[in-house]
Chain A
Amino acid sequence: MNLPIYLDNNATTPMDPRVLEAMLPYFNQKFGNAASRNHAFGWAAEEGVDYAREQVAQLIGATEKEIIFTSGATESDNLAIKGVFEMYKEKGNHIITCVTEHKAILDACKHVEKLGAKVTYLPVQADGLISLQDLENAMTESTILVSIMYGNNEIGVIQPIKEIAEIAHKHGALFMTDATQAVGKIPVDVIADGIDLLAFTAHKMYGPKGVGALYVRRKNPRVKVTAQMDGGGHERGMRSGTLNVPGIVGLGKAAELCRLEMAEESKRLSALRDKLETSLLVMEESYRNGNQEHRLPHVANISFKYVEGEGLMMAMKDLAVSSGSACTSASLEPSYVLKSLGLSDDLAHSSIRYGLGRFTTEEEVDFAIAQTMKAVNHLRDLSPLWEMFKEGVDLDSVEWAEH
């Protein structure tokens, strides 16, 4: 077992060697520009892209022409939000999203607000799920788009996508989902789920960084987005720029591997995750964040009360994890996702996210359990709050000298 152990697979994943192998020829042998129509180099690159487009489409139940390659999920999110607003603003200016979305969605929404859009940010319930009734109530005649993420990056909860899509469609709005954490991990089917636009990226599913895709529905209804990048008219005019052929080939291969191995892999991961979580929740004053039933198979987010997340990560130096603690962010604010669940700031500060992946072994999980327990106990011995809790002091009754 090599240390440190990587358990931050929601941030990014290592590339699968099979993906790397598929990509390699496209750097120096089949290096052509996929838009070069008049020679063999261009044809070879185009063939690679076409094949990848099929592989990607197959993973999400789409057709090849509905896949727009981008530089990643952030670009796909931006293209969807800004592109839909620009294309459909004559029809209406209202967009609905939710407070636990990734910043790429939230900030793109803020951008279109400056251009005249009205955006409703739905709250989430204590388990991280939105209320369908809230969504229904928020729909208006001018709603053009509902954008709700598939699986959350911090807590892993999976929103009721199909039901959300039905509500959006009933009111004549499009449904977009940021499925960055879900695609490749759980079955995602744009037809069955009723998705009109869907964003995802390669590096969260064992592919390379710097490449992603936006699914844009072509039938029932035919969806259009206004391009946000002007140029040669690539990707059916929706995203200009010479195609990142090796990256796209890698995304295609990554998608194929996920599709073929998903059923078995998600079972393996959820068993490992459950072992990790169950073992850690045995500790006093530790809490699971997010819905237990509706969630991704590979994520656990746990708050260890009375210890601070960054201090905890420092004590678990052989584990690469992440925390909702303020100290890990530039803003010194604790995670807005955890706070949206109604978690008090101190519990948000005390949270650790474990993201398991394809290369995580049971031995590593066992090690992570042991190291976490040791670190939590060590830091609780240092914690004045733990001592006060043990003495029966009600911490809410203490007048803290805030600074």
Chain B
Amino acid sequence: MAYSDKVIDHYTNPRNVGTLDKSANSVGTGLVGAPECGDVMRLQIQVDGNHMITDAKFKTFGCGSAIASSSLATEWLKGKSIDEAMKIDNMDIVEELALPPVKIHCSVLAEDAIKAAINDYRVKNGLEALVSEKSHH
């Protein structure tokens, strides 16, 4: 199976690899997937007082498409409010990276990671966790 140029670009030069202080109240962390399934994504957001995402970092264990999906997600998150970020849909990732059907679960995982990170931040800051209208589990 050949990868799209965009997957290869994100895979070869992943954006925003790294770790934020998960104990900080201004940081939301989403850890999704499982080692047995062959992919684990950790996505972190740094949020300012206006609920704007000022930074995003990721680390991913998984195939090229999983790494590319999370790298792309961090790019999209920066500069968005947490409410806007909640609207990122996995199909946007599929489209942007031209993922084949067998790799759609990588984009689902990225969407789950975004939502988990936002909810982690919300709960830490006294906001209620949002339930996504679509559930992937």
A interface residues with partner B (beta carbon < 8 Å): 306-311, 314-315, 325-327, 330, 332, 334, 344-346, 349, 381-387, 395, 400-403
Return chain B residues, CB-CB under 8 Å to A401.
31-34, 112, 116, 137
Report the number of A-B residue pairs with Cβ-Cβ less than 8 Å. 97
Q: Which residue of A is nearest B108, CB measured? A: A403
Q: Which residue of A is nearest B33, CB measured? A: A403
Q: Which residue of A is nearest B8, CB measured? A: A314
Task: Assess A345 versus B109: contact at CB under 8 Å? Given A311-B64, A382-B60, A384-B40.
Answer: no
Taking a contact as CB atoms under 8 Å apart, the answer to whether B59 and A387 are in contact is: yes
Alpha-carbon gap, A282 to B3, bound state (A): 31
B63 interface residue, CB < 8 Å from A? yes
Alpha-carbon gap, A381 to B14, bound state (A): 11
Alpha-carbon gap, A135 to B116, bound state (A): 50
Taking a contact as CB atoms under 8 Å apart, the answer to whether A385 and B61 are in contact is: yes
7 sampled A-B residue pairs with Cβ under 8 A: A309-B38, A327-B38, A327-B62, A345-B38, A384-B60, A386-B61, A401-B112
Return chain A residues, CB-CB under 8 Å to B37.
326, 345, 402-403
Taking a contact as CB atoms under 8 Å apart, the answer to whether A385 and B35 are in contact is: yes
Task: Assess A349 versus B35: contact at CB under 8 Å? Given A384-B42, A403-B105.
Answer: yes
- Interface residues in B16-55 by Cβ distance below 8 A to A read 17, 19, 31-42
Q: Least Cβ distance of B12 to chain A in Å? A: 9
**10 pairs of A and B residues whose beta carbons are closest in the complex:** A400-B34, A346-B35, A345-B36, A384-B42, A310-B63, A384-B59, A349-B38, A314-B64, A327-B63, A383-B61
Task: Assess A381 versus B17: contact at CB under 8 Å? Given A308-B39, A311-B62.
Answer: yes
B11 interface residue, CB < 8 Å from A? yes
Q: Least Cβ distance of A391 to chain B in Å? A: 10
Q: Least Cβ distance of A256 to chain B in Å? A: 38
Taking a contact as CB atoms under 8 Å apart, the answer to whether B67 and A311 are in contact is: yes
Return chain A residues, CB-CB under 8 Å to B64.
310-311, 314
Q: Which residue of B is nearest A349, CB measured? A: B38
Taking a contact as CB atoms under 8 Å apart, the answer to whether A402 and B67 are in contact is: no
